[in-house]
Chain A
Amino acid sequence: MKRGEFIRLTAGMAVVAPLVNACDGQKRNAAKTIPGKIVGASAAAGHLLRDHAFNPPSEFETKEVVIIGAGVSGLSAARHLVQQGIEDIVVLDLEAHPGGNAASGGNAFSKYPWGAHYVPVPNNNLTDYLAFLEDAKVITGYDQAGLPVYDEFFLCHDPEERLYINGHWQEGLVPNFGLNAVQLAEFKTFFKFINHFKNLKGADGLDAFSIPVDTSSRDESLRALDRVTMKEWMDNQNLSSEYIRWYVDYCTRDDFGTPFDQVSAWAGIHYFASRKGKAANAQHNDVLTWENGNGFLIDELRKLLDGKINTGALATSVKTSANGVKISYLDVASRQLKGLEAKHCIMAVPQFVAARLLSDTGRGKALAGHFHYVPWMVANLTVKELHERSGQPASWDNVIYGSPSLGYVDATHQQVQQRKERRNLTYYLPLTHASPEVARREAYRAEHAFWAEKVLSDLQRVHPDIREQTERIDIMLWGHAMAQPRPGMVHGDVRKTLANSIGNAIHFAHTDLAGVSIFEEGFYQGLNAAKKILQQS
């Protein structure tokens, strides 16, 4: 395969850009003061594809269902199929470990997340999701009122959140320390709106804001919110102080990787107004979290999938065939292109990857201008005891007001022992300072030392001794972390058109088709794709 072909084939794929750039990056590896490396998609697969010509697969192994992508959607689909008795399946994933955005790692001190790191207390109408959490023993039972009881070790321990603002760590992330009455009143007004939306139903009788997104009301007055940005909506409500703007911007960057002046107001409000979960021993704003973040849930999703996940498998093409679907993939370990033929294929990958695998230029064009995949940088720091500024002590989520980052989460927070030799801090930075394309290019060009410095100089404000106390920093770059819910994404037509199955053989399941990138959406994307297959068999 020539280099040009390779690029045409895989240029858009999340995995490729980091691979190509990893080669360049290694050459220019500068001396680092704090050890660590840029981790992520194994460079080997990319190198293989680039440097070798492979014969097309001569044999196609048959499977009932092939699932491409072992993220939340793919694993959820596979789990449901196995539960319903369809055992002849395989899940392909390039990475050595399944997980997608819920990937995780670990060291001697704790596991830690590389991406999604918590789920809110679930809404009670999501029975399939609750059943899964029961299987995972996250829900230990139900009280007399029928409310789920959550395992106390998994509910986020106190102290949960703190915000460094006006030279002080305050409790909680909603700014209040050093705010005047007018500024505080704006938050009151804002949460009054949110409360209104939380309880609101559309003319069709459906909840205005629900999870999954597609179960929300399609009332025209609500759809109108998807035509403006969150900032525009806030300006219309005269919510314009620096503090409330920062807060909402922080939240939309946190969940959607999208600044509040780019995110759809509908999606922005959904973030606040769709969480209605009730529990015997938790509130709707409580969260469930684990050392390895949602890596815990990934491990639970794959419990029934032993021997059915094929890692180190880079899909290269998907084509409909007489018997269903033919899938080619590069088996990294044997350095061979292999073939699979299945009755059904679930493409649990982002749409830009799906378009490439299907060689579907129409799909590619439909994506352009609608689907924006934001890059993220995530760092894991192993630290000794840190100097603390005044106020609320070290918490699970530690956010710095005004920082371009989302702060850090302490992966060791859920540990119960008295003394922690080291802590692993997971630092999140959505790269929203430029257009996704520009930010992605910049990100892949930068070296470890650049990222380490970026993290340290940010955290230095709150922990002056961070440089001396940090033993290691590893960096993960997500080239296409999530599709941004910009105006038109949720209630526009593109998303729905692209989600349609091809024939009865190729189905799609990914959070970019859901509109917002949250665990429940991934879970139901996979579940619904699996159900489509089950309806036919």
Chain B
Amino acid sequence: MKNTAGRHSAQWVLLVAVFIIATCGLIYELVAGTLASYLLGDSVTQFSIIIGVYLFSMGIGSYLSRFFKDHLLEWFIRIELLVGLVGGFSAILLFLVFPLAFSFQPVLYALVGVTGILVGIEIPLLLRILKDKVEFAELVSRVFTYDYIGALLASLIFPLIFVPYLGLIRTSLFFGLLNVGVGLYLCRYFAGEVRGVRAIRFGGVLILIAEVAAFIFSEQIMSFSETLAYNDHVVYSTSTPYQRIVITKNRHDLRLYLNNNLQFSSADEYRYHEALVHPAMGASGLARNVLILGGGDGLAAREILKYKSVRNIQLVDLDPVMTKLFTEQDILAEINRHSLKDPRVTVTNADAFIWLKENKKQFDCVIIDFPDPSGFAVGKLYTTAFYRLLQTAMTRNAVAVVQSTSPYVAPKSFWCVNETLKASGFQTIPYHNYVPSFGEWGYIMAYKPNDFHLPVTFPIEKKYISEAVMEQMLQFPDDMLAHGPVEVNKLNNQALVNYFEKEWGKYLEQ
């Protein structure tokens, strides 16, 4: 048994604990509010709701405290450690959860709620622990004085000292450590009065170690979680002599941008690549040799490899960095199902125009997946000169397909490609489909005058294309027509680049 002096000091130890709990509780609330306004925006709403939820949860906690009948000091310490655990890791948890969870808010409010409940239990428990030791009026006065002083301290040091110097993750860990420290101190102080002290102490030490470790490695955790927090987290970016390659990822999809133009989104690229590849592959019959110009992402190759007739795919892409990425990086190669490593695929890094000029081989199907004609250099790859060369690379019954920008945004550009193919001696079949991340997109099949048949069935694994869809893709509503004559694109007029610039320029201004 302690003497009265001991009891007196025990009272002060508990009151200091109240002070710390109050400070920590409010800090956790502020961390949650700051994070919510940082990640979700609209700070007024976030702070308002979080304060409301927190205070309400404290009310629930106070109500629940009535169910703690015995061993109040034990419970007090246990809850103290629990607050340290939940509050200390709250910031890390919220950062990690934000990009991954189905919905961020439930987790946020659950966390705020749990912290509030735990803190809410503690004050009534403490009042009850001390009720026999201190006169009631004085007890209430002291407990709430320390509670509110703690709240003031928290609201001052949080924005002025902790956020600027420690950041959110380390701030919450720091106060978690403080909570756990108090719990462990109480264990020690009241060792004689608490049953199962060793178990409690063991738990406390575990939490302490975990939080110290997290505190030390908070930089790494922070950088990992913070990048995850961006809507489109840039997982890779590089500038090659040919282009700027940026790959972003969020929880919905992975995206490839070349020179800031979206090339594909992993969420819907199957719509684009199935529409690009299968009509031409189907129409060319049992194609054995296939040429892909552009398409360094290996996605068109992935679709072509679905055909058993295919013996050889020659892929010609300008940029070795691009094909290397999509060959060797697992996250990317998974999307193209390692098509670029397939023994049937030959990857050549060369300029398509130059390659085609020197090429002597003929192919049964040609997939042309160049960037849009946004400049004079790339515009050359859409000219009569290029398409005449293309003819020499095609067997008699071969079918080629050209990605031809959006017939909705840029109808003149789209139909200019069509006219250019026709002027180069091809017969053409223009078609289009909807790719959510692109919008309405256009393609043109080109073949030498022969008995061409549209494919009737698509006997391959697919998510999008079908006979009915094919039929639908051939229909062009009025708002995708050129409305007036369009020029043929030639090296010496570059008509397409002018159309494209005007049409997309106008569209992007809106």
Which A residues are within 8 Å of any B CB, using their own CB? 152-153, 155-160, 281-282, 286, 393, 416-419
Contacts and interface: CB of A to CB of B under 8 A. Distances in A.
B377 A157 contact: no
Contact of B351 (A152, A153, A155, A419): A419
A419 B318 contact: yes
Contacts of B357: 416
A157 B318 contact: no
A158 B491 CA distance: 6
26 contacts: A152-B384, A153-B385, A153-B491, A155-B491, A155-B492, A156-B492, A157-B376, A157-B380, A157-B491, A157-B494, A158-B493, A158-B497, A159-B376, A282-B492, A393-B375, A393-B376, A416-B351, A416-B353, A416-B354, A416-B357, A418-B242, A418-B318, A418-B377, A419-B241, A419-B318, A419-B377
B385 A281 contact: no
B494 A158 contact: yes
Contacts of B494: 157-159
Contacts of A419: 241-242, 318, 351, 377
Given A152-B384, A416-B385, A417-B354, A160 B492 contact: yes
A281 B353 contact: no
Nearest to B356: A416
Q: Is the interface of A mostly helix, strand, loop or mixed?
A: loop
Q: Which of A158, A160, A419 has the most CB of B within 10 A?
A: A158
Nearest to A151: B385
Q: Which of A281, A286, A393, A416 has the most CB of B within 10 A?
A: A416
Q: Which of B352, B375, B376 has the most CB of A within 10 A?
A: B376
Contacts of A158: 376, 490-494, 497
Interface string B381-414: 1011110100000000000000000000000000
Given A153-B491, A160-B492, 13 more contacts: A152-B384, A152-B385, A152-B492, A155-B491, A157-B376, A157-B491, A157-B494, A158-B491, A417-B351, A417-B354, A418-B318, A419-B241, A419-B351
Nearest to A414: B491
Nearest to A286: B492
B378 interface: yes
Nearest to B386: A416
Nearest to B497: A158
Interface in B467-510: 490-494, 497
Contacts of A153: 385, 491
Contacts of B490: 152, 155, 158, 281
Interface string B227-251: 0000000000000011000000000
Contacts of B491: 152-153, 155, 157-158, 416
A418 B378 contact: yes
Nearest to A395: B376
A416 B383 CA distance: 11
A159 B497 CA distance: 10
Nearest to A157: B491
Interface string B362-383: 0000000000000111101101
B427 to A, nearest CB: 20
Given A157-B491, A282-B492, A152 B383 contact: yes
A267 to B, nearest CB: 28
A51 to B, nearest CB: 49
A417 B356 CA distance: 11
A418 B383 contact: no
**Chain B interface extent, by class:** 20 to 34
Contacts of B375: 393
B359 to A, nearest CB: 14
Interface in B34-88: none
Contacts of B384: 152
Interface of B: 241-242, 318, 351-354, 357, 375-378, 380-381, 383-386, 388, 490-494, 497
Contacts of B493: 158
A217 B381 CA distance: 46
Contacts of A157: 376, 380, 491-492, 494
Contacts of A416: 351, 353-354, 357, 380, 385-386, 491
A282 B492 CA distance: 8
A340 to B, nearest CB: 44
Contacts of A418: 242, 318, 351-353, 377-378, 381
Nearest to B495: A158
Nearest to B357: A416
Nearest to A155: B492
Nearest to B375: A393
A416 B490 CA distance: 12
Which 3 residue pairs of A and B lie closest in terms of their CB atoms, listed nearest first? A158-B494, A417-B351, A155-B492
A63 B385 CA distance: 46
A4 to B, nearest CB: 55
Nearest to B377: A418
Nearest to A288: B492
A418 B317 CA distance: 11
Contacts of A156: 492
Q: Which of B318, B352, B380 has the most CB of A within 10 A?
A: B380
A159 B357 CA distance: 22
A260 to B, nearest CB: 29
A410 to B, nearest CB: 12
B319 to A, nearest CB: 9
Nearest to B371: A418
Contacts of B381: 418
A416 B378 CA distance: 9
A286 B491 CA distance: 12
Contacts of B386: 416
Contacts of A417: 351, 353-354
Contacts of B242: 418-419
A155 B352 CA distance: 21
A152 B384 CA distance: 8
Nearest to A421: B241
Contacts of A286: 492
A344 B354 CA distance: 47
Nearest to A396: B492
A191 B353 CA distance: 39
Contacts of A281: 490
B489 to A, nearest CB: 10
Q: Which of B375, B380, B491 has the most CB of A within 10 A?
A: B491
B499 to A, nearest CB: 13
Contacts of B497: 158
Contacts of B388: 152
Nearest to A420: B377
Nearest to B318: A418
A281 B494 CA distance: 14
A393 B242 CA distance: 18
A281 B380 CA distance: 17
A419 B353 CA distance: 11
Q: Which of A153, A157, A393 has the most CB of B within 10 A?
A: A157
A79 to B, nearest CB: 28
Nearest to B380: A416
A393 B497 CA distance: 12
A384 to B, nearest CB: 12
A286 B492 CA distance: 9
B137 to A, nearest CB: 81
A249 B408 CA distance: 48
A509 B404 CA distance: 54
A393 B384 CA distance: 22
Contacts of B354: 416-417
Contacts of A393: 375-376
Nearest to B355: A417
Nearest to B352: A418
A367 to B, nearest CB: 41
B237 to A, nearest CB: 19
A470 B387 CA distance: 35
A282 B375 CA distance: 22
Nearest to A417: B351
Contacts of B492: 152, 155-158, 160, 282, 286
B280 to A, nearest CB: 24
Contacts of B380: 157, 416
